[in-house]
Structure 1
Amino acid sequence: MITLIFETGDTVDFPFDSFVEEDLSGLDLHRAIFERLDVSGADFTGSNLRNAIFDYAILVGAKMSKAALMNSTFSCAKMEDVDLTESIAVFADFYKADLSGASLKGADVGGSRFIGAKLSSVNLDAKRVDEADFTGAIYDEKTVWPVGFDPEMYGAIKI
């Protein structure tokens, strides 16, 4: 059994030993604390993860499509190949997160921070990308941006 703690002090017990590859889709996990946990391959599709904390967490291959991620933090998280398609990541913080190979296609990233993030091979054909902060974020020729968007004008660095 694993106990998930929330910023409110509430807890929820889950009947498994880790979150790796677990189905957490459609759950209300508002203000949940996943800091430093391994949730690789977990399915959060359509979940409410507003204000959730994923700082230093391992989310490799996690599914977060259509999830509510407003104000969530992913500082220094390992997020390679995460599916964030059509998620609502408004004001989410991806400070120094490794998003290599992730997809944010159709996601709303207005006000989000990607400061120092690794964006190699990321699909960032997202909504309101011009309202996000890419200062010091690193991207490559395989990174997909919206047509007409110049990432270097928003602080991103091509490698």
Structure 2
Amino acid sequence: MVTIKCQTGDDVVVGADSLSGADLSGLNLHRAILDGQNLRGAKFVAAELRSAWIERADLTGCDLSNSNLFSAVATDALFVGAQLRAAVLSAGTFDRADFTNADLQSARVGQASFRGAKLGGANLRCQGLEKAELEQAEADPSTRWPDGFVPEAHGVIMRNRAE
């Protein structure tokens, strides 16, 4: 059994030996403290992660589809290959996070900060990207953008995949 601490005092007990690969879909993890945790391959489908602390956490390959990460703090987190379709990331802090090959199709990202984030190969055809902070974020030619979006005009650094 693993206990996820939440700043609300509503701790969540998960019937698993590890959070890596665990199914946490639909759970209320509001203000959860998951900093530095290995969450690789976990399922957070439609989970409530509003204002969660996930700095330096490894969410590689996670399914966060339809989850609510509004105002989450995920600085330096790994979202490599993660599914974030239709997730809410608005007002969150994702500075220096790695979204390489992540899928944010239809996600809401307005007022989120992605300063210095790695966006290579990511599907960023999401809502509100023009209102997100993207200064010094890095992308490559395989990154997919909303129609008409000019990444360089928002401070994104375009790299060749080989670099």
TM over 0.5: yes
String of CA shifts for 1:88-131, please: whole Å, max 9, x gaps. 11111111001100010000100010000000000000001100
String of CA shifts for 1:41-89, please: whole Å, max 9, x gaps. 1000011110011100000000001111100111001110010001111
Q: Per-residue deviation at 1:8? A: 2.6
Q: Per-residue deviation at 1:141? A: 0.2
Alignment of 1:40-59 (within 5 A): 40-59=40-59
CA distance in 2, matches of 1:107, 1:19: 24
5+ residue gaps, structure 1, are: none
Q: Percent identity?
A: 36
Q: Per-residue deviation at 1:12? A: 2.4
SS at match of 1:3: strand
Partner of 2:91: 91
Partner of 1:119: 119
5+ residue gaps, structure 2, are: none
Alignment of 1:144-155 (within 5 A): 144-155=144-155
Length-normalised TM-score, structure 1: 0.97
Alignment of 1:12-51 (within 5 A): 12-51=12-51
CA distance in 1, matches of 2:89, 2:97: 14
Q: Per-residue deviation at 1:11? A: 2.3
**For the Cα contact (< 8 Å) 2:8–2:30, is it kept in 1?**
no
List structure 1 runs of 4+ shifted beyond 6 angstroms: none
Letter in 2 for 1:117: A
Partner of 1:142: 142
CA distance in 2, matches of 1:66, 1:52: 15
CA distance in 1, matches of 2:3, 2:147: 44
Alignment of 1:128-139 (within 5 A): 128-139=128-139
CA distance in 2, matches of 1:4, 1:24: 11
SS at match of 1:130: helix
CA distance in 2, matches of 1:112, 1:152: 17
CA distance in 1, matches of 2:78, 2:127: 23
Asked if residue 2 in structure 1 is aligned to residue 2 in structure 2, the reply is yes
CA distance in 1, matches of 2:15, 2:26: 17
Count the aligned residue pairs.
Answer: 159
SS at match of 1:13: strand
